[in-house]
């Protein structure tokens, strides 16, 4: 289906378009979240030599925070062939209305719709799982396409899984109401992972990721401030970033008392001088027949980019006031409940999952021009998922 767009009024549209990138970043974040739908802590990571199970899923997602609201459905269907191949197809829609701090202080609220599609295939060859995927998303002024390939191989009697992956992406950037503006951005992502089963109840993993970006990496709508005056932002056309993540999951108890604990830490750094730390802890437990409850807390802290400035006091080659490249901290609390239906629905392994997450963001060097103080805001994320085998 083609993406559609709605604006508050024809007169407000040019100003609103300046901040479309805010909704775009949010949509991508929600897309990444939906791909996982906060996977259950009790279930360990997928074995490198097991095909994903046949399932169909329908998801409704909702985000409200910082003046931005996004909502829409997502669908996924996965089917196996001859116990060796698994095919999947997904469709995702995000309807975004934006009245964030950027919009209410410099432009007009706007609405737009983003659509995304993905196709995947998994091949099982003895102890190796090979996965390939195609992804495409469409917006009124931004198109993104990517292709990825991953290989996971079990060794040492299936106690260790080694994984390798690569993703190649190409984006086309346009500017609403300016048909002369057109630029591109290329992205390369390389990843390596190691998962180790230490005991029947304890599993750990370590992952490394390297990303290289080239091309137009800013926003044609965003403005920076130099000596208090608004100027178009200027960012480098190349960026290299790295990240390492460690996870440990421990499962204890049996039957109704079965409980799992998760601890995760991620460190990120890049050549824009940004460093970030993310820590997450969580727990999951079966609380009643058919009911699995989960809770988690995540803390994130980030330092600013070398060329970030809330209000630059000198002219430099690069300058930006993108608060996502500034110094900030965030906390997130999430609660999740999964119910597995019994009776005649049991043969389809029908499940309903609800997730609610509350986030708090606090920016240290981004000024809220309405109050003169440091900017902060809260956000709520809601997801409802219905899935079944077929």
Each residue's pLDDT tens digit in the chain (390 positions)?
333 333 333 333 333 333 444 444 444 444 444 443 333 444 434 444 688 889 999 999 999 998 888 999 999 999 998 889 999 999 999 888 876 776 666 666 678 899 999 999 999 998 899 999 999 999 888 999 999 999 999 998 889 999 999 999 999 999 888 889 999 999 999 999 999 999 999 999 999 999 999 999 998 888 899 998 989 999 999 999 999 999 999 998 877 778 999 999 999 999 999 999 999 999 999 988 889 999 999 999 999 999 999 999 998 999 999 999 999 999 999 999 999 998 888 888 999 999 999 999 999 999 988 888 999 999 999 999 999 987
Query: What is the CB-side half-sphere exposure of residue 296 using CA atoms within 13 A?
Result: 26
Fold of the CATH domain 5-388: Porin (2.40.160)
| Sequential DSSP letters for 37-92 | TS--SSSPPPPTTSPPPPEEEEEEEEEEETTEEEEEEEEEEEEEETTTEEEEEEEE
Task: For residue 249, give the 3-state DSSP assignment.
Answer: strand
Amino acid 104: pLDDT: 66
Backbone angles phi, psi at 249, to 5 degrees: -125, 125
**Contact of 330 with 35, CB cutoff 8 Å:** no
Q: Which two tokens stand for residue 232?
A: 């178009």
At residue 247, the pLDDT reads 98
User: Residue 158: its pLDDT value, please?
Assistant: 85
Answer yes or no: are the C-beta atoms of 165 and 148 closer than 8 Å. yes
DSSP 8-state symbol, 206 = E
Contact criterion met (CB below 8 Å) for 97 and 108:
no
Whole-model pTM? 0.85
Of the candidates 6, 26, 60, which has an alpha carbon nearest to the alpha carbon of residue 352? 60
Of 39, 64, 65, the closest CA to residue 385 belongs to 39
Q: What is the Cα–Cα distance from 211 to 276, expressed in whole angstroms?
A: 15
The candidate with the shortest Cα–Cα distance to 21, out of 121, 112, 122, is 112
Three-state secondary structure call for residue 21 = helix
- Cβ partners under 8 Å of residue 349, min gap 6: 55, 340, 388, 389
CB 38 within 8 A of CB 335: no
Q: What is the pLDDT of residue 53?
A: 87
Could you tell me if 378 and 345 are in contact, meaning their C-beta atoms sit under 8 angstroms apart?
no
pLDDT at 243: 98
Instruction: Indicate the length of the chain as a whole number.
Output: 390
């Amino acid at each position: 289906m083609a993406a559609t767009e709605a604006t508050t009024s024809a007169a407000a549209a040019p100003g609103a378009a300046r901040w479309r990138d805010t909704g775009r970043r949010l949509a991508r974040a929600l897309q990444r979240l939906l791909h996982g739908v906060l996977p259950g802590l009790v279930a360990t990571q997928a074995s490198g030599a097991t095909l994903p199970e046949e399932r169909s899923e329908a998801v409704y997602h909702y985000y409200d925070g910082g003046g931005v609201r996004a909502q829409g459905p997502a669908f996924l269907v996965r089917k196996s062939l001859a116990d060796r191949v698994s095919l999947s197809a997904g469709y995702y829609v995000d309807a975004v209305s934006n009245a964030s701090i950027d919009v209410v202080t410099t432009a007009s609220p706007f609405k737009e719709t983003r659509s995304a599609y993905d196709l995947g295939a998994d091949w099982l060859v003895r102890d190796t799982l090979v996965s390939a995927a195609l992804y495409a998303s469409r917006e009124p002024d931004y198109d993104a396409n990517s292709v990825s390939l991953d290989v996971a191989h079990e060794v040492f009697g299936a106690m260790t899984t080694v994984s390798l992956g690569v993703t190649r992406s190409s984006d086309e950037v346009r500017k609403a109401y300016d048909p002369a503006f057109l630029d591109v951005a290329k992205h390369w992502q390389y990843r390596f992972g190691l998962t180790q089963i230490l005991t029947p109840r304890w599993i750990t993993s370590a992952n490394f990721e390297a990303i290289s970006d080239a091309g137009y990496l800013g926003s044609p709508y965003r403005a920076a401030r130099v000596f208090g005056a608004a100027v178009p932002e200027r960012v480098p056309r190349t960026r290299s970033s790295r990240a390492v993540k460690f996870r440990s999951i421990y499962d204890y108890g049996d039957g109704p008392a079965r409980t799992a604990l998760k601890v995760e830490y991620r460190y990120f750094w890049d050549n824009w001088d940004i460093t970030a730390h993310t820590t997450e802890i969580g727990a999951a437990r079966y609380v009643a027949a058919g009911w699995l409850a989960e809770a988690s807390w995540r803390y994130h802290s980030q330092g600013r980019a070398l060329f970030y400035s809330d209000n630059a006091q000198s002219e430099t080659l690069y300058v930006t006031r993108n608060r996502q490249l500034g110094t900030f901290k965030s906390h997130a609390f999430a609660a999740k409940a999964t119910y597995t239906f019994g009776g005649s629905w049991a043969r389809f392994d029908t499940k309903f999952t609800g997730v609610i997450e509350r986030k708090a963001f606090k920016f240290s060097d981004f000024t809220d021009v309405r109050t003169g103080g440091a900017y902060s805001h809260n956000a709520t994320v809601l997801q409802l998922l219905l899935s079944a085998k077929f």
